[in-house]
């Protein structure tokens, strides 16, 4: 047992968070992670993609049992929450949602949060276990009034000390500090986890801090704790598990990728990190030409760059789930080069925590502190 401020705040067994990776479903993965003692997060970006990425919405619906009978995306979201409560009933797992609150998606984000508030009124058990939201990719202060009276715990993903300052001002209960090593959505001005995580911990010693970006095993978790974090969030490592709904080819690509195996390019909501393939390398070349701000730290907008840049991501993801490897696109963090297997979420969590405790004990023995 490894207790931290994060485990105490959330009521979880281990200081681990399974990231709510989009744009596809992580419904089954969320339940499996929560049952294993970590915090499970449901991805909602697929639910929110009905208008801007219909292929992603279709795939999300197809991978969500019972979704075809739902009338609206909000009905799908409520269905997912109720199903997750049932799937975690025996283990009493703790779960929540990752909700993107960027300007393009804020309208849907508000609807999702309102829907969750309604679902939580259905039972005491839902209020006790479906207890939190992690927001990302947007201004948290614009969500303060909606979330602070919701009764839910609230975390926000931040890529800098400046963004962390704004999140603390917004009233979040914990920070998820995201280094540039992470997969998929990243900051315009990337900072490594090694630099960013201790900087935020030093600036906000009274705030619960979670590190993310580059974590995939016990040694890296131990490093995050030594840097000052109260826990870590993992995306790519949980993606490569048997419980994850992502395509098998995606998981296999994570395991296959080696040294220098990732690349950055413009994604639909900003800079993103992908596993290196001919498709992602072509995207990078196009990004250099048409969206150079991805590499210079100067944000562009969805209207200032060609539509083909934005839609390349969606086309690549759809091809992945349709089995067209010549056009497939895969997101993944830098830690993919250290991932070598596809275990169950339960086995992964237990292994990571055993490794973490062993690594922390080994520090004293190895360095004679």
Return d(Cα 132, Cα 3) in angstroms, integer: 19
What pLDDT sits at residue 324? 87
Q: What is the mean pLDDT of residues 221-248?
A: 96
3-state helix, strand, coil in the chain (%, to 5): 50, 15, 35
What pLDDT sits at residue 369? 67
Structural domains of the chain sorted by starting position, each given as residue range(s) with its CATH number in brackets: 13-177+200-243 (3.20.20.70), 251-334 (no CATH)
What pLDDT sits at residue 52? 62
Residue with tokens 């997750």: 84
Closest listed residue to residue 177, CA positions, set 145, 242, 224: 224
Q: What is the mean pLDDT of residues 117-132?
A: 93
Tell me which DSSP letter residue 331 carries.
B
pLDDT, tens only, 153-191 = 999 999 999 999 999 999 999 999 999 999 988 888 889
Closest listed residue to residue 73, CA positions, set 42, 24, 115: 115
SS3 for 272?
Answer: strand
Return d(Cα 117, Cα 137) in angstroms, integer: 21
Q: How many CB atoms lie within 10 A of CB 110?
A: 15
Return d(Cα 119, Cα 345) in angstroms, integer: 26
Return d(Cα 299, Cα 195) in angstroms, integer: 22
Q: What is the pTM of this model?
A: 0.94
Instruction: With a cut of 80, say whether residue 50 has pLDDT above it.
Output: no
Joined tokens for residue 358: 């062993």
CB-based contact 179:232 (threshold 8 Å):
no
Residue 51: pLDDT band by 50, 70, 90 thresholds? low
What pLDDT sits at residue 173? 97
pLDDT, tens only, 297-348 = 888 887 888 888 888 888 888 888 888 889 999 999 999 999 999 999 999 9
Instruction: With a cut of 80, say whether residue 21 has pLDDT above it.
Output: yes
More confident residue, 19 or 102: 19
As a whole number, the mean pLDDT across the chain is: 91
């Amino acid at each position: 047992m490894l207790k931290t401020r994060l485990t105490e705040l959330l009521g979880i067994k281990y200081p681990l968070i399974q990231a709510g990776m989009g744009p596809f479903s992580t419904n089954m993965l969320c339940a499996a992670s929560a049952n294993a003692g970590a915090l499970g997060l449901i991805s909602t970006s697929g639910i929110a993609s009905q208008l801007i990425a219909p292929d992603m919405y279709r795939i999300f619906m197809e991978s969500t049992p019972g979704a075809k009978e739902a009338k609206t995306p909000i009905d799908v979201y409520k269905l997912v929450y109720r199903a997750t409560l049932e799937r975690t009933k025996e283990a009493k797992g703790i779960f929540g949602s990752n909700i993107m609150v960027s300007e393009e998606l804020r309208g849907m984000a508000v609807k999702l949060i309102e829907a969750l508030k309604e679902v939580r009124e259905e039972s005491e058990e839902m209020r006790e276990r479906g207890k939190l939201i992690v927001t990302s990719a947007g201004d948290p202060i614009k969500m303060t009034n909606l979330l602070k009276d919701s009764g839910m715990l609230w975390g926000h993903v931040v890529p800098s000390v400046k963004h962390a300052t704004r999140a603390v001002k917004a009233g979040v209960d914990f920070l998820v500090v995201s280094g540039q090593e992470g997969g998929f959505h990243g900051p315009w001005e990337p900072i490594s986890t090694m630099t960013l995580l201790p900087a935020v911990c030093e600036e906000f010693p009274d705030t619960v801090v979670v590190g993310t970006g580059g974590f995939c095993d016990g040694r890296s978790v131990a490093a995050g704790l030594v840097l000052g974090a109260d826990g870590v969030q993992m995306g790519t490592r949980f993606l490569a598990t048997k419980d994850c709904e992502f395509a098998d080819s995606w998981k296999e690509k994570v395991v296959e990728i080696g040294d220098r195996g990732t690349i950055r390019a413009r994604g639909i909501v900003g800079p993103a990190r992908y596993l290196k393939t001919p498709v992602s390398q072509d995207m990078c070349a196009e990004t250099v030409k048409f969206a150079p701000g991805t590499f210079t730290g100067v944000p562009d907008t969805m209207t200032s760059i060609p539509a083909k840049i934005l839609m390349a991501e969606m086309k690549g993801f759809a091809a992945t789930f349709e089995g067209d490897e010549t056009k497939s696109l895969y997101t993944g963090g830098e830690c993919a080069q250290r991932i070598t297997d596809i275990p169950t979420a339960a086995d992964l969590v237990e292994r990571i925590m055993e490794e973490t405790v062993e690594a922390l004990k080994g520090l004293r023995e190895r360095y004679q502190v």
